[in-house]
Amino acid sequence: MKEIVGTEYFEFLEQFVKLIHEKVKAPGLSQRAVQSGALSCDARRPSVKRLQRPFQRRSEFLPMNPSPNPPRPFNPPPRLVGTYLPPPGYVPVTLTRGFPATSDSLGVIERQWERAREELAAELRAHGETLESAHWQWTDKAEPRSRRHNLVTVECEGQIQGVMAVENLLRKSVLTPNAWVLYVDYVEVAPWNYRVPQDRNAPAVRVPRFTRVGTLLIGEAIRMSLGAAAGGRVGLHGLPQAEAFYVGRCGMTRIGPDPNYQDLVYFEYPDGVAARQLTVMELSA
């Protein structure tokens, strides 16, 4: 039998699929199934339906209507809580949408965070824990031309305290049929804003320098969703260490592991919940 290689293989495959499409009239065998290659070895058997997954295909996107520019002002102004200050310890911050996604700009974050991230990972290991985001490098996420993300930063005392990458395309909602969500791709707070250990049942060896960083970033995602006509709906996949934060502190609904995204758990705000959550977060819409 002649061995089929190179372009001959693809020509042969094309003719084979065309022949089946013209000749096979098996029950349950659709043209779409033939074209997609979803054929059983015995064409007389009905085709088997694929499992319906609860998560949207990545191709189902909607261009995001631009949020108001400049963003609506906060009332009260955005602030963090400095744990080194007497209560209430409020510290004013600068919250920036559209932080440049360039290697130079993201390199500023890495230079500020790199050594502190290594020290944090070592401290967590000493308590039997791991830093799940230890491998992250924001410079690897530089995309000056694609404009896939809108970067949001929180800054005070001359340092970036947290950064969030929001997709510029809305995704299909899992909880709300025929609705869209603003998708948060990455969230990270500065290493000095972590508690050590992460286990809340164990006494703290080190407290965060600033608290409310992650809350402020998720709150800004809600505000962006409202401005983009997505109704405040926000979705994201969370690392295991952050699950308690997204459910307990942010009030998101835990959907479950996503087989299309490394089995990370997917979280989303149902209709109407996110806008109310802003009040709980002491943020304005």
Q: Strands of 83-142 (E only): list them.
A: 90-92, 94-99
- The mean pLDDT of the chain is 80
**Mean pLDDT value across residues 131-135:** 91
Higher pLDDT, 97 or 8: 97
pLDDT tens-digit profile of 162-178?
999 999 999 999 999 89
Domains, the chain, in order of start with CATH, read: 1-50 (no CATH), 61-280 (3.40.630.30)
| SS3 assignment, position 228 | coil
CB distance 35 to 17 below 8 Å: yes
Percent of the chain surpassing pLDDT 70:
73
pLDDT band at residue 201, thresholds of 50, 70 and 90?
very high
pLDDT tens-digit profile of 108-120?
999 999 999 999 9
Residue 105, pLDDT > 60, answer: yes
Residue 198 DSSP class: S
**Mean pLDDT value across residues 98-109:** 91
Closest listed residue to residue 163, CA positions, set 149, 181, 147 = 149
Residue 101, pLDDT > 60, answer: yes
Higher pLDDT, 152 or 137: 152
**pTM of the predicted protein model:** 0.76
pLDDT tens-digit profile of 28-40?
434 433 333 333 3
Closest listed residue to residue 277, CA positions, set 239, 224, 223 = 223
CA 125 to CA 136: how far, in whole Å? 17
Least confident of 65-74, 130-139, 227-236, 258-267: 65-74
Residue 72 is predicted with a pLDDT of: 65
Residue 246 is predicted with a pLDDT of: 97
CA–chain centroid gap for 118, Å, is 23
**Letter for the amino acid at 248?**
G
Strands 169-172 and 180-189: antiparallel
Instruction: Give φ, ψ of 237 to 5 degrees.
Output: -105, 130
Residue 4 is predicted with a pLDDT of: 43
Closest listed residue to residue 169, CA positions, set 14, 61, 18, 283 = 61
**Mean pLDDT value across residues 262-285:** 91
Residue 71 is predicted with a pLDDT of: 65
Residue 17 is predicted with a pLDDT of: 45
Residue 67, pLDDT > 80, answer: no
Residue 65, pLDDT > 80, answer: no
pLDDT tens-digit profile of 216-252?
999 999 999 998 889 999 999 999 999 999 999 999 9
**Mean pLDDT value across residues 177-205:** 95
- Residue 97 β-bridge partners: 152
